[in-house]
Amino acid sequence: MRDWAILVSLVVCTGVQAMPLGMRFATWSVSTPDVPVISPASGTTFSTANLSVAISCSTDGATIHYTTDGSEPTAESPVYKRFKISGKTTVKAVAEKNGMLSEVVTAEYALGQCADPVFSLADGAEFEHSNQEVSIAWNNDGVLRYTLDGSEPTAESPVYEGPFSFSESVVVKAKVFSDDFFDSSVVTASLTRVWVNVATPVVDAAASFTGSKTKVSISCATEGAVVRYTLNGSEPNSHSTKYTGPFYVTDSCTVKAYAVMPDYLNSEVATFAIEKVWTIGDTMGKPDHGFTTGGDGDAGWTRVVDATAPNGEAMKSGAITHEQSSVLSTTVMGPGTLSFSWRTSCEQDDEYEWDHAELAVDGVVKLRLNGETEWTVASTEITGDGEHTIEWRYVKDDVESEGEDAAWVANYSWASAWTATRTTEVPVPYVWLTAHDPDVVDEYEAYEASAKKTAANGWKVWECYVVGLDPQKMDEFKISAFPMKADGTPDLENIAVDPPKSQWNVPGARAVVKGAATLDGDWKSVEGATAAEKAAMRFFKVVVEVQ
């Protein structure tokens, strides 16, 4: 009990006479009541129709005042008498005596406790993409409210109405409010946006190649990503070439590629070096054609720079001595016309077999050249079906040497007169095609070269090879239509792929089929075919003649 001392001074003045000692002061004390006790204890839940509430105070003679609406009780509030409650209630009470009030006591009651809400993503979870969805579950025993700025939810916060999404890191707080039950605890979920990279592209190509070109494919494991690339070793960016499918490179290069996709960080840059390995075919002007060289003492022909040569370089015979030879050779499928350019720097004599250059077909010498000569174009007709061996030889006699004692060859060309119908009237196997005429398989260069030919009737000719499995359906066959350039070659940049049959070719053109009576068939690309599928394939040669 708190005591208050009240001091009263009595002063009796008679003129200036002071009050006698011992009669100057009188004191007494007043105590505040004890704090009331409410029963049952605050936080009690009940499920019966009514809950009886009792309030007591240990101070004799104290009067208890109370409220049940959560307001602060005063001496004017109702005087306590035992009562019952039937729903969520906040009871507050105060004791009063002699005009003194105790401290206020509070007790809260409800029909139950709201369960804490549960997030679909746990606190501390990470997410990788925009529009991350979150849902909150609760037992619907109140109104669920939430915040996204880390603040505590209040009765004024947004009401949860279903899953919502966000794209950046966020602190979500949720709480259930109820008129009948105790509110739930505040539940927090701190969710962090983690940015991920697009998968690094993979460049699929040969590290080195020979011939006119090699195929390059680029893939990315992130579905839907856009890949851009460069071929000169520079870093790719948004302005670099967009990858749309496999392509070919014709020289050494460094492929650099990266991938981008909305809602991702750009991928790392993939780097792949491709080396073009020189072959004799490059110098001879036919990169995809095979050549070999050798000779006495391994004195094979070598590549040399020659400004006077048709293409600025040539093959030169090896260093040999008397009664030796240096040989450059290849093979062709006949019949056809072989042409090339050559020159010599050696002894001059047309009567004797002195030092000289010669061309031999299947071991038989067809052409000879000696002396100090300029570049000369030579050609010879080769008859007979099948494979023929071609040899350029520089041969020395038993004495003397003059000039550079060598021969040079360049600018090789082979115009085959062989056709698919020469040995068969029906489509032939794919393996036969690749063995006997490999240049036409996926070779636009071969198409252009054939277009420069002239048919017997004076028309320009463009050849195309198509592959089928089981020729049966005429309507499924398509051929590309194309305009012709001024030089008689097809304009490959403006080909109309798979036009209707009425538009197969430009006006004045006609298509002639060789190798099959009809073009019925189920057409299939060679690329990607299995070995078994290739074995079952047959090819057809379409010759388009344009007036």
Contact 173, 144 (CB under 8 A): no
Q: Give the model's pLDDT for residue 24.
A: 44
Q: Give the model's pLDDT for residue 519.
A: 35
Q: Give the model's pLDDT for residue 23.
A: 44
Q: What is the pLDDT of residues 519-544, one digit of tens each?
A: 333 434 445 566 666 555 555 555 54
- Render the burial of 102-113: b for 16+ CB within 10 Å, e for the rest: bebbebbbbbeb
Q: What percent of the chain has pLDDT over 90?
A: 60
Give the pLDDT band of residue 400 (cuts 50, 70, 90): confident
What's the average model confidence in pLDDT over 59-67? Answer: 95
Q: Give the model's pLDDT for residue 518.
A: 37
Q: Give the model's pLDDT for residue 513.
A: 41
Quick one: tokens of 142? 């109140």
What's the rounded Cα separation, in Å, for the pair 180 and 167?
A: 36
Q: Give the model's pLDDT for residue 517.
A: 37
Among the residue ranges 32-36, 126-130, 260-264, 442-446, the one predicted with the least confidence is 442-446
Q: What is the pLDDT of residues 202-230, one digit of tens each?
A: 999 999 998 888 889 999 999 999 999 99
What residue type is assigned to position 37 of the chain? V
Among the residue ranges 85-99, 116-130, 194-208, 486-500, the one predicted with the least confidence is 486-500
3-state SS of 152-164?
A: CCCCCCCECCCCE
Quick one: tokens of 197? 């990279």
Q: Give the model's pLDDT for residue 255.
A: 98
Q: Give the model's pLDDT for residue 505.
A: 38
What's the rounded Cα separation, in Å, for the pair 182 and 283?
A: 92
Please provide residue 252's backbone torsions phi and psi, each rounded to the nearest 5 degrees. -60, 140
According to DSSP, residue 148 is labeled: S
Distances from the Cα of 327 to the Cα of 306, 348, 359, 436, angstroms: 20, 20, 10, 24
Question: What number of CA atoms fall less than 13 Å from residue 274's CA on the CB side?
Answer: 24
Higher pLDDT among residues 13 and 460, named by residue: 460
What's the average model confidence in pLDDT over 362-386? Answer: 93
What's the average model confidence in pLDDT over 364-386? Answer: 93
Q: Give the model's pLDDT for residue 53.
A: 95
Give the pLDDT band of residue 486 (cuts 50, 70, 90): low
Look at residue 3 and tell me whether its pLDDT is greater than 70.
no
Q: Give the model's pLDDT for residue 537.
A: 57
Q: What is the pLDDT of residues 158-197, one digit of tens each?
A: 999 999 999 999 999 999 999 999 999 999 999 999 999 9
Q: Give the model's pLDDT for residue 403.
A: 94
Burial of residue 176, with CB atoms counted within 10 A of its CB: 0-12 exposed, 13-18 middle, 19 or more buried: buried
Q: Give the model's pLDDT for residue 485.
A: 55
Q: What is the pLDDT of residues 65-100, one digit of tens each?
A: 999 999 999 999 999 998 999 889 999 999 999 999
What's the rounded Cα separation, in Å, for the pair 153 and 162?
A: 17
Among the residue ranges 48-52, 403-407, 441-445, the one predicted with the least confidence is 441-445
- The number of beta carbons lying within 10 Å of the beta carbon of residue 361 is 20
Q: Where are the alpha helices (DSSP H) in 359-453?
A: 430-436, 444-451
Q: Give the model's pLDDT for residue 281.
A: 93
According to DSSP, residue 298 is labeled: G
Q: Decide: helix, strand or coil at residue 346.
A: coil
Beta-bridge partners for 353: none
Give the pLDDT band of residue 127 (cuts 50, 70, 90): very high
Closest C-alpha to 250, from 292, 284, 272, 278:
278
Look at residue 305 and tell me whether its pLDDT is greater than 60.
yes
Look at strands 428-429 and 37-39 and give their pairing: unpaired
Q: Give the model's pLDDT for residue 533.
A: 62
pTM of the predicted protein model: 0.57
Look at strands 270-276 and 208-209 and give their pairing: parallel
Q: What is the pLDDT of residues 402-421, one digit of tens each?
A: 999 999 999 999 887 754 33
How many whole angstroms from its chain centre is CA 261? 8
Burial of residue 530, with CB atoms counted within 10 A of its CB: 0-12 exposed, 13-18 middle, 19 or more buried: exposed
What's the average model confidence in pLDDT over 110-127? Answer: 94
What's the average model confidence in pLDDT over 317-345? Answer: 93
Q: What is the pLDDT of residues 388-398, one digit of tens each?
A: 999 999 999 98
